[in-house]
């Protein structure tokens, strides 16, 4: 039976020492809480760091044995690894970079080296555990290299990756010295998940700009033509847990105090981990301005500020805590009375029963991070109001949760006045409006809880693997290759129709750089010398370039998709075509080049092509949209076609295509072996023109009319070389 191997930096159980012995307690954080509530019927192994260093020997063996009973597999890290991998690269480099705090980033080569080593340690453990049909699900920014490392060792593995923090814009991400290594590590997964479409868009933009890998509807084709699916999965919560709350038969003194306090005053609740991304000082300042502006609420409204300790030994966090302490002191000192404390500040974590009481007793939740991947606290508050249908959520538009909870009062966390106005609106909001807003959000959260989030991810991961398999079903197998070569050997009259760019050579930013190499010349020369073999290159290239590269070598040539044919040592016009239209179309393309630096026009005898391979893809697509309708209108009067190719727009005479050229060669004589190879949509016309028993081969895994596929140019060249040496 297939298993799910969950891989995260921390296990859901944290190991610690107390009175000389080992103790265990649940790990804090949304990931541990969320994945712990997965369907218990699933066969799971959870791999991660237990949170404490143990010397090799008896204690490690004992912990491994104890954890194994609960499906946990601990990865033990040394203090040096924790310092450089976790505190260093993960939290002093990636965390501030991805949360848009460049002033806190440390680019340290030693951090990066240990980050690689620890990621490899995780990957090695996965490879030790993995069995056929297992699913590997890797989580978060601490382990971004792991998918690629596992893929390298286990090429057929099923791997998912989910990033729980924001992915930054390309302009921010590009500053990371190890940016391509990070991207290629993530792209080792079959499915990559993000909380919001914005994060997904930033990731795909960086992938394209830094690796050159394009995407189509969120699917990225890799070097080996393995397809990586990138999608959005907003993480949910265990709705029922927070809607019901903790058992209240015998509430603790703390819970009782919270409940009683909520009856006497309107509570504004703020719960965050200590972090500069959470916007805590700005929130306190806004509450102070609210009190300054609204004296009528003095004694009636209290901010309960819960700050959970985090990285308390790091300088930035020490300064942040000091800033929070002083801000709270200023407000309480200025506005507080003997029977009213404006800000009740708690620098500690609370048990679930106390948190649940705070959620249910508060009137307003004020969740205003400067940047946050999702923020489950906002969702937990909304779920906790399931019975009462009263209360208001004030939420930062910079939190991922804002993409779902748009009935909340959304604010800019950098705008103090915006937050003050939101507090005023929340306090005065009519009960019926509170109920409407909460009901809409609650319905959404019920529908997409934590279990559905996880099951949707796993289901799409399996669909992605099926999609990959289906796309590979046409791959030229060893058996099919043997049949092809045997047919080739037996044949006495052979026809080989070959595309050039993307088939015999890889694409280049500058078309003139895609010259044939000596190995290609040698293989083509061998084919031509084989008795009864006719080699035809059918290309979109202009006749001058094609003639310069291949003219006089005994190869039949067709340029501009069939406009020109090479005959008797020279070019002959094959179609009744005209170039009178160029003077009308060229100025449009020239204006496009002037407005789009990096693009250029390629002019052939009967074709104009606008190339935008070297510019930003989104800008190129925008320009294409700008001119498409106008070009179609103009070309309709000249019997022309507008073709959108791989980062190129071509205008050419209608009725000219590779299929007609291929058909002319097919009908020249009775061939007993025919082969056609090509990589793009223009070659589909060739494939459709070939007889059913011909060997038609698509270079790449896109949909095709060809009978077979090969992964890339290297495989196509390998086939040509094999036939040349028979």
Confidence of residue 31 (pLDDT cuts 50, 70, 90): low
- What CATH class has 582-653? alpha beta
> In terms of Cα–Cα distance, which of 406, 261, 407 is closest to 341?
261
β-bridge pairing 600-603 and 135-139: unpaired
Confidence of residue 262 (pLDDT cuts 50, 70, 90): very high
Q: Considering only 111-115, 235-239, 607-611, 631-635, which range has the smallest mean pLDDT?
A: 631-635
Task: Measure the CA dihedral 621/627/628/632, to 10°.
Answer: -160
> Residues 405, 383: contact at Cβ < 8 Å?
no
DSSP state of 337: B
Helices 582-595, 617-636: axis angle to 10 degrees equals 160
Q: In terms of pLDDT, which residue wins out, 313 or 379?
A: 379
Mention every residue, 6+ apart, whose C-beta is less than 8 A from residue 381.
269, 359, 362, 365, 367, 391, 393
**Rounded distance, CA 525 to CA 546, Å?**
16
Judged against a pLDDT cut of 90, whether residue 598 lies above it is answered with: no
Confidence of residue 339 (pLDDT cuts 50, 70, 90): very high
Answer yes or no: pTM beyond 0.95: no
| Tokens representing residue 13 in the block | 């159980």
**Rounded distance, CA 14 to CA 341, Å?**
35
Q: In terms of pLDDT, which residue wins out, 400 or 651?
A: 400
Alpha helices in 336-372 (DSSP H): 352-361
Judged against a pLDDT cut of 80, whether residue 34 lies above it is answered with: no
pLDDT tens digits, 694-707 = 999 999 877 889 99
> Residues 504, 716: contact at Cβ < 8 Å?
yes
Output the pLDDT for position 442.
97
pLDDT tens digits, 494-551 = 999 999 999 999 988 778 889 999 999 999 999 999 999 999 999 989 899 999 999 9
Judged against a pLDDT cut of 60, whether residue 22 lies above it is answered with: yes
Q: In terms of pLDDT, which residue wins out, 173 or 619?
A: 173
In the chain, CATH 3.40.50.2000 sits at: 4-232, 239-437
β-bridge pairing 640-644 and 648-653: antiparallel
| Tokens representing residue 435 in the block | 């109920």
**Element housing 609 (H / E):** strand 607-611
Average pLDDT score over residue span 320-335:
97
| Tokens representing residue 679 in the block | 């990589």
Output the pLDDT for position 290.
98
Average pLDDT score over residue span 324-329:
97
In the chain, CATH 3.30.70.1020 sits at: 582-653
| Tokens representing residue 484 in the block | 């092809």
Q: Considering only 111-120, 224-233, 437-446, 524-533, which range has the smallest mean pLDDT?
A: 224-233
SS3 per-residue string spanning 530-595: CCCEEEEEECCCCHHHHHHHHCCCCCEEEEHHHCEEEECCEEEECCCCCCCCHHHHHHHHHHHHHH
Angle at 336 between CA 330 and CA 339, to 5 degrees: 155
Task: Measure the CA dihedral 537/538/544/548, to 10°.
Answer: -10
Average pLDDT score over residue span 559-571:
88
* Fold (CATH) for 4-232: Rossmann fold (3.40.50)
Output the pLDDT for position 254.
94
Output the pLDDT for position 115.
98
Judged against a pLDDT cut of 70, whether residue 42 lies above it is answered with: no
**Element housing 13 (H / E):** strand 13-18
Q: In terms of pLDDT, which residue wins out, 249 or 488?
A: 488
Angle at 84 between CA 81 and CA 87, to 5 degrees: 105
**Rounded distance, CA 555 to CA 557, Å?**
6
In the three-class reduction of DSSP (H, G, I as helix; E, B as strand; rest coil), residue 173 is classed as helix
Judged against a pLDDT cut of 60, whether residue 433 lies above it is answered with: yes
Output the pLDDT for position 244.
93
In the chain, CATH 3.40.50.1000 sits at: 478-575+656-724
| Tokens representing residue 206 in the block | 């960086």
Average pLDDT score over residue span 623-646:
77
Backbone angles phi, psi at 370, to 5 degrees: -70, -30
Judged against a pLDDT cut of 90, whether residue 281 lies above it is answered with: yes
Q: How many CB atoms lie within 10 A of CB 542?
A: 21
Output the pLDDT for position 548.
93
| Tokens representing residue 116 in the block | 């690689």
Q: Considering only 90-94, 164-168, 334-338, 652-656, which range has the smallest mean pLDDT?
A: 652-656
Residue with tokens 């009519």: 430
Confidence of residue 40 (pLDDT cuts 50, 70, 90): low
Output the average pLDDT for the chain. Answer: 91
Angle at 674 between CA 672 and CA 680, to 5 degrees: 170
Average pLDDT score over residue span 330-346:
97
Residue with tokens 């028979």: 726
The beta strands (E) that lie in 460-551 are given as 494-498, 533-538
Output the pLDDT for position 368.
97
Kindly state the percentage of the chain with pLDDT values over 90: 66
> Residues 494, 532: contact at Cβ < 8 Å?
yes
Judged against a pLDDT cut of 80, whether residue 225 lies above it is answered with: no
Judged against a pLDDT cut of 70, whether residue 575 lies above it is answered with: no
Output the pLDDT for position 54.
84
Average pLDDT score over residue span 147-175:
96
In the three-class reduction of DSSP (H, G, I as helix; E, B as strand; rest coil), residue 375 is classed as coil
The CATH code of the domain at 239-437 is: 3.40.50.2000
> Residues 99, 277: contact at Cβ < 8 Å?
yes
Average pLDDT score over residue span 342-365:
96
Which residues are designated catalytic? 499
> Residues 561, 575: contact at Cβ < 8 Å?
no
Judged against a pLDDT cut of 60, whether residue 49 lies above it is answered with: yes
pLDDT tens digits, 173-212 = 999 999 999 999 999 999 999 999 999 999 999 998 899 8
Output the pLDDT for position 604.
85
**Rounded distance, CA 603 to CA 610, Å?**
9
**Rounded distance, CA 121 to CA 142, Å?**
12
In the three-class reduction of DSSP (H, G, I as helix; E, B as strand; rest coil), residue 308 is classed as strand
Mention every residue, 6+ apart, whose C-beta is less than 8 A from residue 138.
7, 8, 146, 147, 150, 159, 160, 161, 162, 189
In the three-class reduction of DSSP (H, G, I as helix; E, B as strand; rest coil), residue 171 is classed as helix
The CATH architecture assigned to 478-575+656-724 reads 3-Layer(aba) Sandwich (3.40)
Residues in the chain: 726
Angle at 490 between CA 485 and CA 492, to 5 degrees: 115
Output the pLDDT for position 27.
65
**Element housing 463 (H / E):** helix 450-472
């Amino acid at each position: 039976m297939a298993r799910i191997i969950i891989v995260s930096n921390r296990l859901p159980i944290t190991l610690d020492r107390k009175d000389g012995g080992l103790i265990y307690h649940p790990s804090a954080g949304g990931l541990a809480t969320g994945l712990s509530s997965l369907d218990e019927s699933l066969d799971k192994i959870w791999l991660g760091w237990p949170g404490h260093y143990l010397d090799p020997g008896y204690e490690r063996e004992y912990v491994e044995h104890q954890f194994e009973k609960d499906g946990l597999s601990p990865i033990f890290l040394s203090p040096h690894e924790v310092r450089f991998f976790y505190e260093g690269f993960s939290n002093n480099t990636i965390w501030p970079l991805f949360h848009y705090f460049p002033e806190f980033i440390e680019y340290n080569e030693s951090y990066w080296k240990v980050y690689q080593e620890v990621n490899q340690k995780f990957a090695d453990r996965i490879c030790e555990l993995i069995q056929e049909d297992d699913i590997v699900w890797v989580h978060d920014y601490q382990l971004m290299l792991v998918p690629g490392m596992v893929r390298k060792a286990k090429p057929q593995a099923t791997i998912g990756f989910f990033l729980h923090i924001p992915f930054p814009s390309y302009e921010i991400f590009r500053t990371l010295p190890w940016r391509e290594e990070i991207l290629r590590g993530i792209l080792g997964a079959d499915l990559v998940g993000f909380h919001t479409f914005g994060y997904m868009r930033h990731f795909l933009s960086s992938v394209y700009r830094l690796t050159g890998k394009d995407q189509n509807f969120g699917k990225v084709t890799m070097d080996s033509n393995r397809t990586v699916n990138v999608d959005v999965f907003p993480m949910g919560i265990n709705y029922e847990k927070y809607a019901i709350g903790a058992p209240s038969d015998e509430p603790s003194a703390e819970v009782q105090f919270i409940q009683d306090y909520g009856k006497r005053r309107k509570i504004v609740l703020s719960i965050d981990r200590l972090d500069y991304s959470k916007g805590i000082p700005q929130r306190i300042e806004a509450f102070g301005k609210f009190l300054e502006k609204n004296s009528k609420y003095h004694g009636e409204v209290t901010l309960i500020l819960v700050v959970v300790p985090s990285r308390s030994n790091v300088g930035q966090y020490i300064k942040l805590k000091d800033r929070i302490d002083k801000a709270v002191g200023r407000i309480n000192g200025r506005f507080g009375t003997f029977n009213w404390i404006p800000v009740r500040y708690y620098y500690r974590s609370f048990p679930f029963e106390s948190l649940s009481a705070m959620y249910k007793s508060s009137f307003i939740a004020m969740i205003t991070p400067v940047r946050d991947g999702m923020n489950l606290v906002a969702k937990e508050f909304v779920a906790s109001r399931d019975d009462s249908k009263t209360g208001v959520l004030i939420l930062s538009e910079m939190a991922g949760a804002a993409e779902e909870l748009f009935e909340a009062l959304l604010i800019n966390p950098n705008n103090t006045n915006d937050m003050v106005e939101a507090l005023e609106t929340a306090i005065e909001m009519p009960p019926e409006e509170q109920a409407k807003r909460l009901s809409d959000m609650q319905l959404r959260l019920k529908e997409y809880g934590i279990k559905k989030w996880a099951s949707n991810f796993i289901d799409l991961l399996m669909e992605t693997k099926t999609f990959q398999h289906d796309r590979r079903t046409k791959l030229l197998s060893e058996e099919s290759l043997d049949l092809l070569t045997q047919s080739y050997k037996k044949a006495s009259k052979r026809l080989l129709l070959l595309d050039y760019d993307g088939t015999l050579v890889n694409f280049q930013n500058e078309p003139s750089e895609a010259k044939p190499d000596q190995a290609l010349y040698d293989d083509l020369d061998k084919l031509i010398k084989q008795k009864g073999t006719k080699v035809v290159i059918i290309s979109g290239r202009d006749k001058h370039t094609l003639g310069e590269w291949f003219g006089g070598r005994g190869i039949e040539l067709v340029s501009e998709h069939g406009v020109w044919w090479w005959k008797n040592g020279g070019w002959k016009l094959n179609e009744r075509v005209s170039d009178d239209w160029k003077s009308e179309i060229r100025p449009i393309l020239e204006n496009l080049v002037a407005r789009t630096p990096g693009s250029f026009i390629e002019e052939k005898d009967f074709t104009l092509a606008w190339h935008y391979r070297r510019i930003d893809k989104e800008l190129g697509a925008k320009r294409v949209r700008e001119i498409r309708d106008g070009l179609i209108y103009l070309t309709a009067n000249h019997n022309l076609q507008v073709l959108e190719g791989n980062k190129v727009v071509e205008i050419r005479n209608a009725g000219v295509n590779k299929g007609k050229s291929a058909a002319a060669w097919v009908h020249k004589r009775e061939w007993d072996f025919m082969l056609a190879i090509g990589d793009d949509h223009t070659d589909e016309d060739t494939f459709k023109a070939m007889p059913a028993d011909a060997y038609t081969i698509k270079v790449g895994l896109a949909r095709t009319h060809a009978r077979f596929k090969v992964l890339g140019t290297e495989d196509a060249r390998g086939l040509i070389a094999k036939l040349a040496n028979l």
